[in-house]
Structure 1
Amino acid sequence: MSLTQAGGPPGWSRRIVVLLAWLLVVGLGAIVIARTQIGADLSAFLPKSPDLRQRVLIEQLQSGVASRTLMLGFEGGSVEQRAEVSRAVGKAMRESQLFDLVQNGDVSDWSEAGTWVFQHRYQLSSGVMPGQFTAEGLRDAIIDTLSMLGTPAGNAIKPLLDRDPTGETQRVAMELVPASAPRSEGGVWMSRDAPRALMIATTRAAGGDLDAQASAIARVQAAYEAAARGMGEAAPKLLLSGPPVFSVMSREKIKTEAIHLAVVGGIVMSVLLLLAFASPRALVIAFLPVATGVVVGTASVSLVFGSVHGLTLGFGSTLIGETVDYAIYYLIQARGATVAGTGWQRWREVHWPTVRLGLLTSVCGFAALVFSGFPGLAQLGVFSIAGLVSAALATRYVLPVLAPDGATGMGMRRHMARLAGLLVRGLPGLRWPLGALGVAALALVLWQGGHLWRADLSAMSPVPRSAQQLDEMLRKDIGASDGGVLVVAFGDDEQAALRHTEAAAARLDALVDKGELSGYETVTRVLPSVATQTARLASLPDADTLRANLVEATKGLPLPASRLGAFVADVEAARKQAPVQRADLMGGPLGSVVNTLMYERPGGGWSTLVVLHPGPGFDQGRLEAALEGLPEVQVVDVGRELGGLYKRYLHEAFVQVLLGALAVVVLLGVYLRSWRRLLAVCQPLLFAVVLTLGGMALAQAALGILHLVGLLLIVAVGSNYALFFDQLRTTGRADEDTLASLMLANLTTVVSFGLIAISDIPALSSIGRVVAPGALLALLLSAAFARKVAPKSRHSG
């Protein structure tokens, strides 16, 4: 009798088809993954349908100047060495074309920009107004200019005196200097309280383009190494920080940690499985569903979302803990068939329905995440569902081809079965104390209430505290805005955005006068709106009127009107100039300033960013009041908006988890068709979740979104245990292999999530610290609430 005739696995032709189909799916998944972009910015965990302020915030986090700003320090060495390195690195960065703006106080190559500003000074200067060119206005302006000849700026003013006696060029230049720029020494910026040269730069690529950001950072490091070469150990040390550094660092750390966890977890579980199966072949087979789940889950996220967030990739290591359970159930439960080659059929008929139901409950739980309004959470849902389904299908169809009778070696499984038998006999006697403990844990959780769920979005970031402290130090030295409060103006087109920016600037000037702002930076300093430029040029008098006014204005001054013929000619020429457009600046020396502070919005229209430099008396409420009545200008408090978003995020996640739990209960009710059995299955899952939360409350842990995901995983993993015990309960007795499979599956799950719990990635450790104890509790409670189950010994080979 052939194996097929005996009910064994299919013939060779069908085996080959199954294996080829599986290899094709895994191969295509690997190809997709190889072409996938890995992200790490937390904007993926912001809503995909934001309101106006949230949209402004997301735009800034993804591509705004804050997301593209690098801060550099060159610490140590002599003043001359720091200045030399700063100039060399700055020059290399400008030449690389990877940066929109590079500022280090070095103005040696600003001659082209100065020439352009001088030629367009009457369009750019805020001092150009009708009263400026009356006899009285001219006299005041000329006196102010002459008084500056004895100052450090005098050397720059003197060559321009005859052509720019009103000092318009100097006024524009002063407005372009950051309000809180560091001191200058050796021709570059230096810290006021440390031996450190300073630099700030804005990358050309969007903040979310991590490959481009990594290239820019690598260019900085290469430029530094070239500049410091030859200085030996005395060379200044490079300090580098900013959002691009954080994003690239996070991506690399998450990828490294995910690989590390996968390797360590794989080694640990390999040892456990070898001890259990005493068979290298069974070990390899056990990992096939795991590999299938990780590959298909990652590829599915890439196909649906276009990229994979680093946290989703790290989440793959958590999938190992559950998907390996499917292989363990099969390899142990399919053994011992009375006819060789039929173990797979017995497993399919007796145990597969239970595994399948456990899979469906997991899918129901995670399906709620798929419809989340937050892309990051939706990615976790798609990953989990695709990974679990593919792993289960690989167990159902591929493993019977490779191991028709499961794993034949016994290893330590008989000892595991005996221990499980002791638990099955002893734990039901503890169900009342365990129930009382669960009630106490529930009371503690309810008492702590919202205080327990106090984590924020930043808790998901893997950036170490030392890197954050370096960022704070460099930001303070440079005087850069911390980006805590953003002012953004927007319009349907470029000119509308510029006009709205000018309206905001007019009100901000009042706050500067009061000392509440040290100053601010705006694109309209180099690109005023056409309306403003037209008004300025219209205020310029004709040549005859200007000459007459100059004669009167210069009486008694050391600068006679007869020397100012070139000034009159320049004003006359300016009257005929066309307004400066944005396109005119592109490719020029000031195009980088425009690109930094003005951008086209993804959904259409244009926006500009006003960079604030708060003064000692800064009050956000007064800032908002000053800009009130300008609907096209938004004040965005980044911390407050992120806090509000996270609360909305958490609330939505709670709703989704509850909907997922309800779907699980409905599914179980339809399948079990018995209120008593439904209660018996759900009871241990509920108590496992409550006791885990109670333990977190006792540990005073700050819970967040990913702890909720961990609770879903407890239900997903624990449902398999509860359903198997329900199966055993209905038959009244349990064979050793079933108990051994449950014990081994739980052991591998607890170990894998225990390793994740000690991860350096907060998001992953959050999940591990919830699931490791929760999965153990789910098994113990499933045994405790099981009744009339006695282990039945089944000796087979």
Structure 2
Amino acid sequence: MTVASDGPSRSRRVLVLLIWLASVLAGVAVISRTHFSADLSAFLPASPDPHQRVLIEQLQAGVASRTLLIGIEGGKDAAQRADVSRALGKAMRASGLFDQVQNGDNSDWEESGTFVFDHRYQLSPEVTPDRFTVEGLRNAIEDTLSLLGTPAGNLVKPLLERDPTGETRRIAEGLLPATSPRTDHGVWASRDAPRAMLLAGTKASGGDLDAQAAVIARVQEEFAKATQGLGAGAPKLLMSGAPVYSVTSRDQIKREALHLAIIGGIVMSGLLMLAFASPRALVIALLPVATGVVCGTAAVSLVFGHVHGMTMGFGSTLIGETVDYAIYYLIQARGASVPGTGWQRWRDLNWPTVRLGLLTSVCGFAALVFSGFPGLAQLGVFSIAGLVAAALATRHGLPMLAPDGASGMGMRHLMARTAGAIARTLPKLRGVLLALGIVAAGLVAWQGSDLWRARLSSMSPIKQEMSDLDAKLRDDIGASDASTLVVVQAADQQAVLRATEAASARLDALIEGGELLGFETVTRMLPSIQAQQDRIASVPDAATLRSRLAEATAGGPLPALRLEPFIAEVEKARTLKPITRADLIDGPLGAVVNAMLYERPGGGWAALIALHPGPKFDAVRLAAALSTLPEVQVVDVGNELNSLYAHYLHEAFVQVMLGALAVVVLLGIYLRSGRRLLAVCEPLALAVLLTLGGMAALHVALGILHLVGLLLIVAVGSNYALFFDQLQETGSADEDTLASLMLANLTTVVSFGLIAISDIPALSAIGRVVAPGALLALLLSAAFMHKKKTVAGVPSKIPL
């Protein structure tokens, strides 16, 4: 006689459900305070070498990471665009959100012009002892007088008697970029398009995406005010630069992850409804999924302090695996001989297999946790925490809600029969499948390392039109080249400035050789104290200068008597204190100085030299020219990123292989049979190989995330292989187990298939690998079931 059971006791139910709910709510609370990032530094080493450290600092807080390129396009005419540019520039400067806003409107620079004039003998690189010899004075005065008949004469004439040697003009020329935009109606404008231009540097760090998003929103708001009332033909706003890229990437990843979660949830809900024919079962099946995503995200936030956008997007991929646990339970726990005990039967018979599949997945992803790259480590932590949380929710939570699994039958009989037919047919095709595996192995070996040719940029969700716009705006504004960085580092400001001056002397030689059109350096506005003192020391006293001037101007159009103001200015300059950073901090020059001279996060100071490459530019020769200056580093950003990515990929390979080895060892310890171990590992290895072969045949450039996808194939497929091994060992045809495998695989393939068509390359790469790989793992697990010898009447194979 059997005695019906109501399942777990009421007190146990309440306790387990309360703990479950509290855990999820705690995770939600952590996520609500989580900072989400999308900068490339997550894919750079946690312990970088000096070159890598320079690159990371620039990506996180350098000038390029804080620079906005703004275009005002269209409208009525150039005058209207200029008016909007001036209004927008004024509003942006008043907002306090920017270090500098440049648009060709120099009205705010009048005070700085006075400062430069007053300190010209400290700032001008031409102030040397030779400059104040008789010959030097004669040549300098003649050069200045020769400009009087040119368009520059209107600027030179008012200063002639106070600055006959043209030091102010020389400083101004040095401050002009080698390539600059055209000026139209008093503001910068494109040379080949109806577009006014602005260049702005944000005060917020490039890594502070919330602040950058607020800055972008403020620009849009001020532009709307500047164009209010202009009607339908008003100019339109264009923006580009690293802040726009980062914010757009984060928003796109958030939006895409949400859409994928919604669409995937709807599709999987439809499949589960067909399988269970029960709304209650559907809701119960999705609970472990939600638990896994919440706990995975919260775990990453707690461990790393922030969550990268790609990790957040990876949550969509976790749905495809975590729902399997609920499917296994809801189908396999049904049919108990004593009502209310199905959960115990599942716990004793099937949970050990699910647990082992979970442990193999954890072993695989644990390898990523120890990666030297934060982005990869985040994926490992997220996957492990999410899978463990979903499995525990299934093991302890679902029995409280559905002690006997899902009661509705739906299409499970059909799924079981289909799975049975597959399991009977596929073992006959082992030879064909092995032959395909050999072909795939040959194709992979033939392509070799060329198969893994994707680059870091392949993970960026930025569309080509955004890249094209960025290139146009940079060309319009004549922005310095960002592909090669020259960074000077030293313990203090003065050491950095002295080393920057030494580097500048080397770069001047490259300008003469045509390799550089020019460069921008902080020492043109803030020379080292040593350089300033040397220049002032070159200036003669009043009596000496008066005597030399008399000789230098003899017979010329500018008599020495008219230059008494010049002698007074020189004498005053001899008493000036050296210029320091503090003297410039409050004016327009201060913003430029701050952008090019900054305190490093780890201590010390650094200066950035912005390059304008010429037609003969060669980064190798540039590095050679500066190689004897130990404080100066030349970083080729493109090559460095590619090198880092190659290192990243290599480390990921090592970690994945270690994870695979850990999986094999774990399976060997549990199965304690070489025959069973081979039966479980063979289909997983062949599924990975066939997936790689397919990618090679399609000429897909593989990268890091494809590798993560291969790891997911093993994680998902290990459950299939272990369940088929369990069926073989019991020698019985368990329809519920076959139906659960069929449904679990269907939901996984569909969910990853949806991800495969994502607009985000990072997610698409994973989906395109896992969708076919998971299907192959199920089919191959059925095909490579080992034959069990007949013992005491036990059949030699599953009587499906």
TM-score over 0.5 for the pair? yes
User: Corresponding residue for 1:692?
Assistant: 691
Task: Please identify, of 287-296 and 162-171, the stretch whose mean Cα deviation from structure 2 is larger.
Answer: 162-171
Query: C-alpha distance in 2, partners of 1:700/1:617?
Result: 35
Query: C-alpha distance in 1, partners of 2:309/2:621?
Result: 40
- For the Cα contact (< 8 Å) 2:2–2:338, is it kept in 1? no
User: Corresponding residue for 2:791?
Assistant: none
SS in 1 for 2:344: helix
Residue correspondence of structure 1 range 248-287 to structure 2 within 5 A:
248-287=247-286
User: Which string of whole-angstrom CA distances, capped at 9 and with x for unpartnered residues, describes residues 616-636 of structure 1?
Assistant: 121222212211211111111
User: Which string of whole-angstrom CA distances, capped at 9 and with x for unpartnered residues, describes residues 606-652 of structure 1?
Assistant: 11111000111212222122112111111111111111111111111
User: Corresponding residue for 2:313?
Assistant: 314
Divergent runs of 4+, >4 A? 787-793
User: Corresponding residue for 2:100?
Assistant: 101
Query: C-alpha distance in 1, partners of 2:27/2:498?
Result: 51
User: Corresponding residue for 1:434?
Assistant: 433
User: Corresponding residue for 2:792?
Assistant: none
Residue correspondence of structure 1 range 149-160 to structure 2 within 5 A:
149-160=148-159
Letter in 1 for 2:29: I
Letter in 2 for 1:334: A
SS in 2 for 1:162: coil
> Following TM superposition, by how much is the alpha carbon of 1:234 offset from its aligned partner in structure 2, in angstroms?
2.5
Query: C-alpha distance in 1, partners of 2:658/2:677?
Result: 17
> Following TM superposition, by how much is the alpha carbon of 1:550 offset from its aligned partner in structure 2, in angstroms?
2.2
User: Corresponding residue for 2:599?
Assistant: 600
Letter in 1 for 2:53: R
User: Corresponding residue for 2:38?
Assistant: 40
User: Corresponding residue for 2:790?
Assistant: none
User: Corresponding residue for 1:390?
Assistant: 389
> Following TM superposition, by how much is the alpha carbon of 1:791 offset from its aligned partner in structure 2, in angstroms?
6.3
Residue correspondence of structure 1 range 213-252 to structure 2 within 5 A:
213-252=212-251
User: Corresponding residue for 1:682?
Assistant: 681
User: Which string of whole-angstrom CA distances, capped at 9 and with x for unpartnered residues, describes residues 745-775 of structure 1?
Assistant: 0000000000000000000000000000000
User: Corresponding residue for 2:530?
Assistant: 531
> What runs of 5+ residues in structure 2 fail to find an aligned partner?
788-795
- For the Cα contact (< 8 Å) 2:486–2:634, is it kept in 1? yes
User: Corresponding residue for 1:336?
Assistant: 335
User: Corresponding residue for 1:670?
Assistant: 669
Task: Please identify, of 316-325 and 507-516, the stretch whose mean Cα deviation from structure 2 is larger.
Answer: 507-516
User: Corresponding residue for 1:31?
Assistant: 29
Query: C-alpha distance in 2, partners of 1:558/1:336?
Result: 113
User: Corresponding residue for 1:53?
Assistant: 51
Residue correspondence of structure 1 range 156-167 to structure 2 within 5 A:
156-167=155-166
When normalised by structure 2's length, the TM-score is 0.97
Query: C-alpha distance in 2, partners of 1:745/1:583?
Result: 66
User: Which string of whole-angstrom CA distances, capped at 9 and with x for unpartnered residues, describes residues 425-484 of structure 1?
Assistant: 111111111111111111111111111110000000000001001111111121212311
> Following TM superposition, by how much is the alpha carbon of 1:790 offset from its aligned partner in structure 2, in angstroms?
6.3
Q: How many residues align?
A: 791
User: Corresponding residue for 1:637?
Assistant: 636
- For the Cα contact (< 8 Å) 1:370–1:377, is it kept in 2? yes
The answer as to 2:796 corresponding to 1:764 is no
When normalised by structure 1's length, the TM-score is 0.97
Letter in 2 for 1:643: N
> Following TM superposition, by how much is the alpha carbon of 1:577 offset from its aligned partner in structure 2, in angstroms?
1.4
Query: C-alpha distance in 2, partners of 1:584/1:388?
Result: 58
> Following TM superposition, by how much is the alpha carbon of 1:488 offset from its aligned partner in structure 2, in angstroms?
0.8
Residue correspondence of structure 1 range 707-746 to structure 2 within 5 A:
707-746=706-745
> Following TM superposition, by how much is the alpha carbon of 1:189 offset from its aligned partner in structure 2, in angstroms?
1.4
Task: Please identify, of 711-720 and 413-422, the stretch whose mean Cα deviation from structure 2 is larger.
Answer: 413-422
> What runs of 5+ residues in structure 1 fail to find an aligned partner?
none
Query: C-alpha distance in 2, partners of 1:725/1:213?
Result: 53
- For the Cα contact (< 8 Å) 2:74–2:195, is it kept in 1? yes
Query: C-alpha distance in 2, partners of 1:319/1:437?
Result: 30
> Following TM superposition, by how much is the alpha carbon of 1:10 offset from its aligned partner in structure 2, in angstroms?
3.2
User: Corresponding residue for 2:559?
Assistant: 560
The answer as to 2:242 corresponding to 1:206 is no
* 1:472–1:606 CA distance, 2 compared to 1 (3 A): same
> Following TM superposition, by how much is the alpha carbon of 1:572 offset from its aligned partner in structure 2, in angstroms?
1.6
Letter in 1 for 2:175: L
Task: Please identify, of 723-732 and 57-66, the stretch whose mean Cα deviation from structure 2 is larger.
Answer: 57-66
- For the Cα contact (< 8 Å) 2:731–2:799, is it kept in 1? no
Query: C-alpha distance in 1, partners of 2:114/2:799?
Result: 93
The answer as to 2:64 corresponding to 1:66 is yes
Query: C-alpha distance in 2, partners of 1:8/1:692?
Result: 47
> Following TM superposition, by how much is the alpha carbon of 1:8 offset from its aligned partner in structure 2, in angstroms?
5.9
User: Which string of whole-angstrom CA distances, capped at 9 and with x for unpartnered residues, describes residues 769-792 of structure 1?
Assistant: 000000000000000111458667
User: Corresponding residue for 1:780?
Assistant: 779
Query: C-alpha distance in 2, partners of 1:116/1:216?
Result: 31
Query: C-alpha distance in 1, partners of 2:433/2:590?
Result: 69
Query: C-alpha distance in 1, partners of 2:539/2:184?
Result: 39
The answer as to 2:292 corresponding to 1:293 is yes
Residue correspondence of structure 1 range 333-732 to structure 2 within 5 A:
333-732=332-731
Letter in 1 for 2:470: D
Letter in 2 for 1:596: A
Query: C-alpha distance in 1, partners of 2:95/2:175?
Result: 23
Task: Please identify, of 781-790 and 282-291, the stretch whose mean Cα deviation from structure 2 is larger.
Answer: 781-790
Task: Please identify, of 482-491 and 264-273, the stretch whose mean Cα deviation from structure 2 is larger.
Answer: 482-491
User: Corresponding residue for 1:19?
Assistant: 17
SS in 1 for 2:101: strand
SS in 1 for 2:558: coil
> Following TM superposition, by how much is the alpha carbon of 1:680 offset from its aligned partner in structure 2, in angstroms?
0.3
- For the Cα contact (< 8 Å) 1:37–1:308, is it kept in 2? yes
In structure 2, which of residues 68, 73, 76 is the aligned counterpart of residue 75 of structure 1? 73
* 1:792–1:338 CA distance, 2 compared to 1 (3 A): farther
SS in 1 for 2:635: strand
Query: C-alpha distance in 2, partners of 1:150/1:262?
Result: 71
Query: C-alpha distance in 1, partners of 2:425/2:571?
Result: 101
SS in 1 for 2:232: helix
Letter in 2 for 1:660: G
Task: Please identify, of 222-231 and 533-542, the stretch whose mean Cα deviation from structure 2 is larger.
Answer: 222-231
> Following TM superposition, by how much is the alpha carbon of 1:120 offset from its aligned partner in structure 2, in angstroms?
1.4
- For the Cα contact (< 8 Å) 1:735–1:791, is it kept in 2? no
Letter in 2 for 1:771: V
Letter in 1 for 2:308: H
Task: Please identify, of 75-84 and 755-764, the stretch whose mean Cα deviation from structure 2 is larger.
Answer: 75-84
User: Which string of whole-angstrom CA distances, capped at 9 and with x for unpartnered residues, describes residues 276-329 of structure 1?
Assistant: 111111111101110010001001111111111100000000000000000000
> Following TM superposition, by how much is the alpha carbon of 1:144 offset from its aligned partner in structure 2, in angstroms?
1.4
SS in 1 for 2:122: helix
User: Which string of whole-angstrom CA distances, capped at 9 and with x for unpartnered residues, describes residues 37-93 of structure 1?
Assistant: 111112210111111111111111111111111111122231101211111111111
Letter in 1 for 2:118: Q
Identity %: 72
Query: C-alpha distance in 2, partners of 1:183/1:325?
Result: 62
Task: Please identify, of 258-267 and 9-18, the stretch whose mean Cα deviation from structure 2 is larger.
Answer: 9-18
> Following TM superposition, by how much is the alpha carbon of 1:102 offset from its aligned partner in structure 2, in angstroms?
1.7
> Following TM superposition, by how much is the alpha carbon of 1:159 offset from its aligned partner in structure 2, in angstroms?
2.2
- For the Cα contact (< 8 Å) 1:736–1:792, is it kept in 2? no
> Following TM superposition, by how much is the alpha carbon of 1:235 offset from its aligned partner in structure 2, in angstroms?
2.0
User: Corresponding residue for 1:127?
Assistant: 126
Letter in 2 for 1:151: T
SS in 2 for 1:607: strand
Query: C-alpha distance in 2, partners of 1:657/1:18?
Result: 35
Query: C-alpha distance in 2, partners of 1:752/1:636?
Result: 42
Query: C-alpha distance in 2, partners of 1:685/1:11?
Result: 41
SS in 1 for 2:481: coil
Letter in 2 for 1:740: A
Letter in 2 for 1:743: M
Query: C-alpha distance in 1, partners of 2:497/2:387?
Result: 52
User: Which string of whole-angstrom CA distances, capped at 9 and with x for unpartnered residues, describes residues 575-601 of structure 1?
Assistant: 111111112221222111111111111
Task: Please identify, of 319-328 and 42-51, the stretch whose mean Cα deviation from structure 2 is larger.
Answer: 42-51
Query: C-alpha distance in 2, partners of 1:437/1:296?
Result: 40
- For the Cα contact (< 8 Å) 2:108–2:588, is it kept in 1? no
Task: Please identify, of 133-142 and 495-504, the stretch whose mean Cα deviation from structure 2 is larger.
Answer: 133-142
- For the Cα contact (< 8 Å) 2:8–2:399, is it kept in 1? no
